[in-house]
Amino acid sequence: MASPQSIGYKGLIYKIAVPSPLRRVFDYLPQDSAKHLDPGTRVQIPFGKRKIVGFIIGEADHSELKLSRLKCINAVLDEEPLFPQEIFNLLLWCSNYYQHPIGEVLSAAIPGKLRSARPLHLKKMFWRISKKVNSKIIEQLTRAPKQKALIELLLPSEGLSKQTILDQGFTQVVINSLQEKNFVESFEQQDPQTITTKPLPKTNLKALSLNNEQAAALDAIRKTENKFECFLIDGITGSGKTEVYMQAMQDQLNADKQCLVLVPEISLTPQTVERFAERFDCQIVSLHSGLTDNERLASWTSARDGSARIVIGTRSAIFTPLSKPGIIIVDEEHDSSFKQQEGFRYSARDIAVMRGREERVPVILGSATPSLESLHNTELNKFSYLSLSERAGGASTATMTILDTAETILDAGFSDQLLFKINQHLSANNQVLVFINRRGFAPILNCLSCGWIAECKDCIAQMTVHTKPPSMRCHHCGNSQRLHSICPNCRSPELSTLGAGTQKLEQFLQQRFTSFPVMRIDRDSTRSKKKFESMLDKIRTGDPCVLLGTQILAKGHHFPAVTLVAIVDADSGLFSPDFRGQEFMAQTITQVAGRAGRAERPGEVIVQSRHASHRILKLLSGSNYIDLAKLLLEERKIAAMPPYAHLALIKADGPQLKATIDLLKQIKSFSTQLILQSESTIHSIGPMPAPMEKKAGRYRSQLLFKATSKPIMQRFLTQLVCQIESLKVATGVKWSLDVDPQEMI
Ligand code: ADP
Ligand code: ZN
Ligand code: ZN
């Protein structure tokens, strides 16, 4: 029998990845006279009836396809690969680890503009005087004064861009007439404006003198001498983590290197960028979802060519190529926004560590509430642990009290004691922060006569009542409906709301504390950036007011005039069905509490709970997140859950539940065989309907895998995914894989 090689094509072919869900690469012939193409170069290729952009992944000296079936690369789009070797390797690793098609991974790692056949650097058209031009010729032009003027404009320059010429009042007709006479000629050049760099001062005059713990942290980072090492800075809010980051960054800038800083959400924490801009006199670019495509491309290119010295961005910025990488910093490393929840589901924090290893640079993860994963890595000595346990600049930490509300009648969620405290702080000219983890007016609308409850037609979930503007909204799929005034089931007008969200609390507090403004800060009220900014400005004046809001308040903002933080309800986190629920609650409460008493004014934190004696709350009130985290780690160990085990979640969704379960049953039978064959210790749980069984009109189910070793899990998933790919999936049903899932809903 002939080997496939002998019937295929012999000669140079390129392996090309395309942005599609197909987990494979395609063979293409080189262009006739093309130079050798390195991995990571973009090319345009014929694909079916279309022309698309693909990436060179590698090459081979033969193809299993016959010459007649092979197509040629149409065009080479990049003069050199878009990614340095290290980043390209990192992206290959990501594709393997997260089991996501390489074409989609590469595509996700570049700015949108480069996903089309656009060249990396747009060249601009310039005009210059041709050699032919001499003083005699200029003389002859006196009857064409515009042409003469243009020649005189171009004469002293080496060439001017077409735009500059037009801006000076010349028309294209004038340029054309001179070109016809061969007096001027055009040439293309990269716009010089995009490659300017700011010089960097070599000393850092504004650096603060560090306290002992900060100095020890900086020393440890310096000792790496720019080799890979990952540090976890466990530093309470206000302990001066950012100051340590900045001094470590200064070292790199002095050595002419670049710094990459990841933050959870730039739009909510613009002050981080401002602080860097105040400190460092060099080009700083940011990369986040609020940019236009052109802005994003400009930031990305200047990071890649080395002109931007500091790159600060959200999750996807972790893939930004740097020409001179020096250090990677992930601030608020515990934040769940570093995990991408759709499509290419990656963890930017975990990739940051891989990237540091690949590029041989130090990585700093910082948080006031480190994730259990990172703490565990310090126990394993994979990360070095650095602690900042005191507030820098002399501010005192807040005290925390748990207020037992088991026997208390609450008014819009508030006990009398809490209201008394709020009044006390406001009257003393201080600000009060009230935290509740739910936006809208109330989570439930029900009928007092027949018990009807407003539910989303597309999800198995209740509609949340909103009053601004009046409506019912599904927080899971975005459905919105007008607010019923009578029950659609029994026509009774006796509709009532249950539970409370930010809007209900806002209404209540406004009526209760009439002489103080109440500022509601949640996803609805901050949608307009301008409105959010004006609220922040008001808060910054330091005048007494109530800041009322959700999660957003826990993210990085400094509220120095706040002396009381009130957490209205801690109980939903205590009994969450999600195995990360308690960790998440502890992080949120600690982060929100960290907003109080940052300045000289001592702060206090009051947490209301009907389970005040719960051990988690007890530990939290000792302001000891780390002890609590250690306890939670113990529990995870006993339950064999992350970080002591590794999870992978296969999800299926479709128009009927049964079809999704059927698909997962097939996958489960594949997995059982694989596990038997390899005798590996992998457990599967399910298939079962997802905790949120129906969302946006689609039914969802899931199958969970658990393994104690990452390599075993990875090998298993690679084989499993290969088998799933060969399955014929029922129409309308989709499956996806989430490696190291954060959310199980
Ligand atoms: P974190 O990032 O841990 O929340 P920051 O770096 O923002 O802490 O520091 C909190 C406050 O303390 C800031 O106002 C900062 O200027 C100040 N600070 C930090 N380090 C020092 C220091 N060594 N001496 C005096 N003030 C400091
Ligand atoms: Zn009714
Ligand atoms: Zn819905």
Distance CA 734, CA 487 (A): 37
58 lines ligand 1 (CB under 6 A): no
Residue numbers of the chain with a pLDDT score lower than 50: 1-2, 4-5, 192-202
Cβ proximity of 326 and 363 under 8 Å: no
Give dist(CA 540, CA 551) in Å, integer: 19
pLDDT in tens, 298-331: 899 999 999 999 999 999 999 999 999 999 999 9
Residue 134 has a pLDDT of: 80
CA dist., res. 216 & res. 213, Å (int): 5
Please report how the helices 212-223 and 241-254 are oriented relative to each other, as an axis angle in degrees rounded to 10: 40
CA of 470 to the centre of ligand 2 (A): 20
How many other CB atoms are found less than 10 A from the CB of residue 491?
A: 10
Q: Looking at ligand 1, which residue's alpha carbon is closest to its atom 20?
A: 240
**What confidence score (pLDDT) does residue 273 get?**
81
- Cα 467–chain centre separation: 31
Give the integer Cα–Cα distance in Å for 110 and 272.
24
Ligand 1 proximity of 345 Cβ (cutoff 6 Å) = no
Q: Distance between CA 58 and CA 27 in Å, rounded?
A: 10
List pLDDT tens digits, range 383-405. Answer: 999 999 888 876 677 788 999 99
- Helix, strand, or coil here: 687? strand
Task: Name the closest-CA residue to atom 9, ligand 1.
Answer: 240
Alpha-carbon torsion angle 525, 530, 533, 539, nearest 10 = -60
Cα separation, 261 vs 240, whole angstroms: 16
Q: Is 608 helix (H, G, I), strand (E, B) or coil?
A: strand
Alpha-carbon gap, residue 600 to 558, rounded angstroms: 13
Q: 225 pairs with which residues across the strands?
A: none
Q: What is the pLDDT of residue 5?
A: 47
**Ligand 2 ion: nearby residues, β-carbon < 5 Å:** 447, 449-450, 452, 487, 489-490, 492
Neighbours of 546 (CB within 10 A): 26
As a three-state string, the secondary structure of 167-223 is HCCCCHHHHHHHHHCCCEEEEEEECHHHHCCCCCCCCCCCCCCCCHHHHHHHHHHHH
What DSSP designation does 729 have?
A: P
- Ligand 1 neighbour 241 (Cβ under 6 A): yes
- Element spanning 53, H or E: strand 50-63
Distance CA 613, CA 571 (A): 12
- The torsion angle over the Cα atoms of residues 708, 710, 714 and 717, rounded to 10 degrees, is 30
Cα(651) to ligand 3 centroid in Å equals 19
Q: Report CA dihedral (725, 698, 575, 501) to the nearest 10 degrees.
A: 140
Cα–Cα dist 384/363, whole Å: 10
**Which amino acid, residue 280?**
F
Nearest ligand to the C-alpha of residue 479?
A: 3
